[in-house]
Amino acid sequence: MLRTFFRFRGVCGNTPSLRLLSRNQSCHFDLKYSTAASERKRFYQDVTISQGEGGLFEINLDRRKLKTPGGKLFTVPNEALAIAVATEWDAQKDTLKFYTMHLTTLCNTALDNPTQRNKDQMITAALKFLETDTVCYRVDEPYGLVELQKNEWDPVLQWTENRYNVTIGSSSSILGPDIPEATKDTLRQHLNSYNFWSLTGFEYVITQLKSVVLSLGIIDRHLSVEQAVLLSRLEEEYQIRCWGNVEWAHDYDVYELRARTSAGALFVHLTSESSTVKHKLMQD
């Protein structure tokens, strides 16, 4: 039996070419690593994807099957996500930098479920951020920051309330706004409409931005990643404008937050939408 898969050539990477390999030509490969692990030398030349049992897609490093840190076969639900993950592996140069492979990390989390949580527990954890949402906590002074928060945060907060027909509000109290139970119920129902994989990505975005409101804006394509990251760092950017910053450190923090947030949002879309996304990615 033959399986089709895409081949990514070497470190420098030429255009992927379509190949056919028989099932018995592949062998198993068990990669144990932690996202906290720094780096290791690249040990493969080619990265490929192949379709296995049940229609799931696998990642192969020199024809050896990738596995999760928990020892499971690394499989993803669709071709578009498989291509995206394979691209992460192929983009690594002489040294593997696992901390840059956010899509791989999210897949590992969804597959291994290391905290053994179900969807309801994940949603509860995600909604906890609503009680301390970045855009809901306001300052009383200085005047410049008060106005900046009002002008930049109020529109996205109002959009969210109108979009989901809920009341969230904002407060300068240390206790934060009093979120109505009806709002929590509505947002819980919305989050429950996502599958386990998509919810994994959604929660990841929320934890990066410390905001349910901004995360909803990104996933619903109301905000770009750049806009949401800037809004999540509004107070920091204000302080930098007033007092200056360590340039390289500031830039690194922003780029890293954008990368993680982008990966989370892409993960949600690739695991929750139809094959239309896959076809568009293939065309691009």
CATH number of 47-112: 3.30.2180.10
> Facing residues of 19 across strands?
5
Distance CA 52, CA 2 (A): 10
- pLDDT, position 173: 87
Distance CA 70, CA 52 (A): 20
Convert the chain into a string of H (helix), E (strand) and C (coil).
CEEEEEEECCCCCCCCEEEEEEHHHCEECCCCCCCCCCEEECCCCCEEEEECHHHCEEEEECCEECECCCCCECEECCHHHHHHHHHHHHHCCCEEEHHHCHHHHHHHHHHHCCCCCCHHHHHHHHHHHHHHCHHHECCCCCHHHHHHHHHHHHHHHHHHHHHHCCCCCCECCCCCCCCCHHHHHHHHHHHHCCCHHHHHHHHHHHHHHCCHHHHHHHHCCCCCHHHHHHHHCHHHHHHHHHHCCCHHHHHHHHHHHHHHHHHHHHHHHHHHCCHHHHHHHHHC
Distance CA 16, CA 8 (A): 5
- pLDDT, position 273: 64
Strands 27-28 and 64-65: parallel
| Angle subtended by helix axes 212-219 and 143-164, to nearest 10 | 60
Cis peptide before 180 (omega within 30 of 0): no
> Mind listing the pLDDT tens digit of every residue in the chain (284 residues)?
223 344 444 433 333 332 323 333 333 333 443 444 567 899 999 999 999 989 999 999 998 999 999 999 999 999 999 999 999 999 999 999 999 999 999 999 999 999 999 999 999 999 999 989 999 999 999 999 999 999 999 999 999 999 999 999 999 888 888 999 999 999 999 999 999 999 999 999 999 999 999 999 999 999 999 999 999 999 988 888 787 766 666 778 899 999 999 999 999 999 996 444 444 444 44
Give me the sign of the Cα torsion angle 168, 106, 199, 283. Answer: positive
Distance CA 58, CA 81 (A): 10
Q: Which of 203, 187, 204, 213 is nearest to 135 (CA)?
A: 213
- pLDDT, position 247: 66
Topology at the third CATH level for domain 119-272: ATP12-like fold (1.10.3580)
**Rama region for 71: left / alpha / beta (φ>0; ψ in -120 to 50; rest):** left
| Annotated domain spans of the chain | 47-112, 119-272
List, in order, residues 6 or more apart from 144 with CB less than 8 Å away: 238
Strands 39-41 and 57-61: unpaired
